[in-house]
Structure 1
Amino acid sequence: MSDKPHNSEASAAPKAPLRLAAYATALTGGSAASMVVEIAAGRLIAPYVGMSLYTWTAIIAVVLGGLSVGHWIGGRLAAPGVDRAGLSRRTGIAFLGAALTTLGALPVLHWAAVVVLPMGLSPLLAIITVTTLAFVAPSLAAGVVSPLLTKMAIDERPHDAGRILGRMYALGAAGAIAGTLLAGFLFIGWVGSRGTIFATAGVYVALSAGFLLVRPVRKAVPVAAAGVLLAVGIAAWGSQTRAFETPCNVETSYYCIRVDDFAPMTGRSSAVMVIDHMAHGVNDRAAPELLYSQYLQFVDEVTRRRHRGPRLSAYFIGGGAFTLPRAWQAAYPQLDALVAEIDPGVTQAAVDRLWFSPDERVQVEAADGRLLLQSLPAVPQFDVVFGDAFHDFTIPAHLVTREFHDAIAARLNPGGTYVMNVVESRENPEFLRALVKTLYLSFKTVEVWLEHEDAKSTGRVTYVVLAGSTPLPTYRMDSTFGIERLWWRVPEAAFGPLDAAPILTDDYAPVDRLMTHVTLDAALVD
């Protein structure tokens, strides 16, 4: 009896390293692609539900859930009796499924937003539902691949199974890391979230072709034909619903930015900036001092009453539509303003589409509002510090802590004012109580104001909070310029005792927990 290997085994042996390299490459590429989709998902859902801790938590949970189910299915498909050709075809089909579901995520997301968001669900439940409908299928299909590739790799060297298994796990993790970095730092800012999805689907198609085109090739023809038909159907659906078109005028690494004509609402030449899903200011082309946002008009009213001369020094935490800097350019000939707007794309959109014209009186820095402020000398230099960096119920924790308030107080001129807007519940503003309590540690006076219509509301409202050394001498303020409005100072007793509220610090600022009542209550959805 001869110990020599059969000819088929001998000819296959030199190809084993090539196949192992192919399996490793496919696993790395597939893992990277799945993470690219995860990061792109955050940008894709932002125009519908915003971007917050809740959206990212939902996305991560949905993707991990899909991958887990996919891994289980892939393990079932990698049965002991399936030969290499069968495993390759199953891998190719899984990659093709990942391509189709990734492409299909765009029209599914559009459909889910149209159907789910008007249902009146709580913001949190709406985020989870929309995310699941759009992105669980691409993750599931991508998850099927890993067990199949690992099984084929182990079959090549069954005597070295442990080393092969560890290598495949490591390559999967490395691919996931690479995909995360590439999506976040390169692809989305370069080709946009939809372009990233198209490119990822193309990568999946290429990987699918590599595994489907094994002998006998004829078995791949029905699969390829079905894939083409499904792709055509998805393309038709996406084109009909315009799901493949970006809703953004500009998509940056931070936001989806859109500027819409607001003239139908005002009867004047005006435009509104929408960042992700939320309007961030309306600018009037001919009258910069005409302020349509009631909280901006209130800040303007307070400032005009306290600073009647031609001089004003101001620091803005967030630029948005640059509505107030633009208004104060017209109102204060000797304005000295510094705006911290972290996204240069927001600033450019305001210049290009909202008639904002930076000059020597308004300096704009692409920086975080806290970091820029703390880089300035800790000496009085601003009459007004305006915090306008909050997005809906998403509140950057580092901008509401005692340490940051101390930094602001140190840079306010005598009689200066720190003012911010807070979107909260009218009946149980838990975060507002914590914020007011914290502000009292840095400022002598803290006031909370509401516009007249908001004061009558029982839902979600926009509070304006003033902090400084001198209170306003009234509990009622009528507008003296622009749109006729009325604001009321809210007595502290009206929003509950401060004793039980936590003090917000850099070490402990449970902002998201304090805003849970807003995210879980469907009645507080605008």
Structure 2
Amino acid sequence: MIVSTAGGESGFGRSPRAWPYILAGTVGAATLGFELVAARVANLLVGVSLYGWTGVIGATLAGLALGFAIGARQRSNTAAADARLVGTWAITAAIAAVGATLLLTAPPVALTLERVPRIARLPLPLVFLAFIPALLLGLAVPSLARRAIDTQHRLGQRAGGLGAALAAGNLVGAFTTGVWLIPAVGTRGSSLVWAGALVLASGRPWPLVPLVVLGAVALATPHACLRESAYQCIAIRMETGDRGRAVHVLYLDGLPHTHVVPDDPRHLAHDYLIPVVEVAASLRPVGEPPPTILIIGGGGYSLARYFRSVYPNAPVEVFEIDPVVTEVARGWLGLTDDPLTRIVHGDARQTLRLIPADRRYDLIVLDAFADIVVPMQFVTAEFNALVASHLNPDGRYIALVHDRTDRGRLLPAYVRTMEAAFPAVDVLAAGPGVRWRSPLSRTWAVVGAPAALEEAQLRRALRFTANGPFPTLSEIMPATERARLRALPGPPILTDDHAPVEQLALLLFE
């Protein structure tokens, strides 16, 4: 608590001079804690991207800078006055951050914002969860500095100590929030923890009352996320599909990723999965020896469940980075334990690098997205070479890439990159009547193989549903269109050193 000494100085407990450093550390920790909460909420509202993280960091730094500048002009002549200023700003920041977190993670708000253009949603978490709390905490720092550096004696040592306390708090806030708090108690719980720390460090017990009320509200009101993992916000919504069937929709960071009918593993709601299963059927027709399959990205496990249904003896491996996604799929999306389905949790690139060099697959499918963009580490020439090294001689690699084909830049760069690793590359989409120069974005299947896909062989492939086999719907991009696509602007190929997927996909956010 804050005490007054005979000299009129405010301190912490029996060590008055320790109080500025302790509170500075708490301010530093809370600043980074709120920043990470803001980043997670930004992901929920607009999806994962480099721009979201950049915006949150920039808004936090701008808030701190403005707070420092305004706080330096605050006039106070006594330790008690400085203590009041610090306490006021810290407590206001705490309540503002918790209130903003509760508001922005409320399901009605998230649903309403889905009607707003994606870029227009970003200022909300930037302003209310990054900028304003940082501004308020920045206002407190000059008062802390005045109390820590109240004489010219040992000026450098005291200034350095205050800076060290802030930096140490930043480290504690960053690692505690990112590694433990958000996965354990979510965004709301993380905001409450750092708000409580600020209140306790300020030495004023009365703000605990509104914080307790806000905590009760956080526990009692619905959250936009069913689960919050170390990687993303996971939600399930219920919809009604054809023939009145219940469809479970998996949302990852606010974006619908998979529509699943739990009791029908052959139901593929997304047309971009159709080329995947039809290319697989053209390679290994149903009823013949089954393929060995690796799927990069579990998500709703639609592909894994489909392949295990139509190829009962096929071994299927799935690399999924987030174990909580798998837990949700088991609880809500019809995923069951199966001795022939092997799920490995971890980064797919690192996992693929660590498996035995002689392990080969007939089919490898890349179905991994960070928001609507393939993560950078999966689009490079180096990763394609790694994938190619684990394919059987006649094996095929199918990568799902979302872009426009009229003037998109990500798909052309990716096709050029695939051509550096595979003798033949084709681009497919589900038809009929695919528009190869459409301004509308869609997900394309880019197929790398030892030889070009044969139209006649693909036409003989069958896709299976609960009602039996269906004829092929996939269409192969004509050679003239592929040449036009290849000639569009962008990097010659994508490499580990240069793969600006967010910039190449900018048109998708218009």
Shorter chain as normaliser: what TM range?
0.7 to 0.9
Say if 1:327 and 1:14 are closer, same or farther in 2 by CA, change over 3 A. closer
Structure 2 partner of 1:105: 100
Deviations 1:149-180 (A, max 9, x none): 1111111x432222111110111011001100
Say if 1:413 and 1:72 are closer, same or farther in 2 by CA, change over 3 A. same
Report how far residue 107 of structure 1 moved: 4.6
Report how far residue 266 of structure 1 moved: 5.9
Report how far residue 440 of structure 1 moved: 0.7
| Residue 344 (structure 1) aligned with residue 331 (structure 2) | no
More helix by share: 1
* Distance in 2 between residues matched to 1:330 and 1:437, nearest whole Å: 34
Report how far residue 450 of structure 1 moved: 2.5
Structure 1 partner of 2:279: 302
Structure 1 stretches lacking a partner, 5+ long: 1-6, 214-223, 522-526
* Distance in 2 between residues matched to 1:96 and 1:115, nearest whole Å: 30
* Distance in 2 between residues matched to 1:134 and 1:36, nearest whole Å: 10
Identify the range of structure 1 (26-35 vs 126-135) with the bigger mean alpha-carbon deviation: 126-135
Secondary structure of 2:295 counterpart: strand
Report how far residue 129 of structure 1 moved: 5.0
Contact 2:263 2:334 in 1 (8 A): no
Structure 2 partner of 1:41: 38
Secondary structure of 2:115 counterpart: helix
Contact 2:297 2:319 in 1 (8 A): yes
Structure 2 stretches lacking a partner, 5+ long: none
| Residue 93 (structure 1) aligned with residue 92 (structure 2) | no
Tell me which amino acid in the other structure corresponds to 1:26.
Answer: L
Structure 1 partner of 2:136: 141
Query: TM-score, normalized by length of structure 2?
Result: 0.87
* Distance in 2 between residues matched to 1:408 and 1:512, nearest whole Å: 23
Tell me which amino acid in the other structure corresponds to 2:161.
Answer: R
Task: Return the match for 2:232 from 240, 248, 255.
Answer: 255
Contact 1:383 1:416 in 2 (8 A): yes
Say if 1:347 and 1:71 are closer, same or farther in 2 by CA, change over 3 A. same
Identify the range of structure 1 (108-117 vs 258-267) with the bigger mean alpha-carbon deviation: 108-117
Structure 2 partner of 1:179: 173
Task: Return the match for 1:403 from 382, 390, 406.
Answer: 382
Report how far residue 118 of structure 1 moved: 3.1
* Distance in 2 between residues matched to 1:153 and 1:271, nearest whole Å: 57
Tell me which amino acid in the other structure corresponds to 1:203.
Answer: A
Deviations 1:302-346 (A, max 9, x none): 212221124120111111111111111111122111111111111
Structure 1 partner of 2:475: 488
Deviations 1:167-209 (A, max 9, x none): 101110110011000001111111111111122222222233x
Say if 1:307 and 1:330 are closer, same or farther in 2 by CA, change over 3 A. same
Structure 1 partner of 2:500: 510
Contact 1:27 1:146 in 2 (8 A): yes
Structure 1 partner of 2:126: 131
Task: Return the match for 1:275 from 224, 247, 252.
Answer: 252
Report how far residue 61 of structure 1 moved: 0.8
Say if 1:64 and 1:485 are closer, same or farther in 2 by CA, change over 3 A. farther
RMSD: 3.1
Say if 1:310 and 1:235 are closer, same or farther in 2 by CA, change over 3 A. same
Contact 2:248 2:261 in 1 (8 A): yes
Say if 1:87 and 1:454 are closer, same or farther in 2 by CA, change over 3 A. farther
* Distance in 1 between residues matched to 2:304 and 2:11, nearest whole Å: 70
* Distance in 2 between residues matched to 1:161 and 1:17, nearest whole Å: 22
* Distance in 2 between residues matched to 1:315 and 1:16, nearest whole Å: 60
Structure 2 partner of 1:440: 419
* Distance in 2 between residues matched to 1:394 and 1:455, nearest whole Å: 21
Say if 1:363 and 1:228 are closer, same or farther in 2 by CA, change over 3 A. closer
| Residue 25 (structure 1) aligned with residue 6 (structure 2) | no
Report how far residue 423 of structure 1 moved: 1.1
Secondary structure of 2:15 counterpart: helix
Structure 1 partner of 2:339: 360
* Distance in 1 between residues matched to 2:471 and 2:490, nearest whole Å: 38
* Distance in 2 between residues matched to 1:127 and 1:492, nearest whole Å: 35
Report how far residue 143 of structure 1 moved: 1.1
Say if 1:492 and 1:40 are closer, same or farther in 2 by CA, change over 3 A. same
Secondary structure of 1:405 counterpart: helix
Query: TM-score, normalized by length of structure 1?
Result: 0.85
Task: Return the match for 1:383 from 362, 369, 372.
Answer: 362
Task: Return the match for 1:56 from 50, 53, 56.
Answer: 53
Contact 2:250 2:300 in 1 (8 A): yes
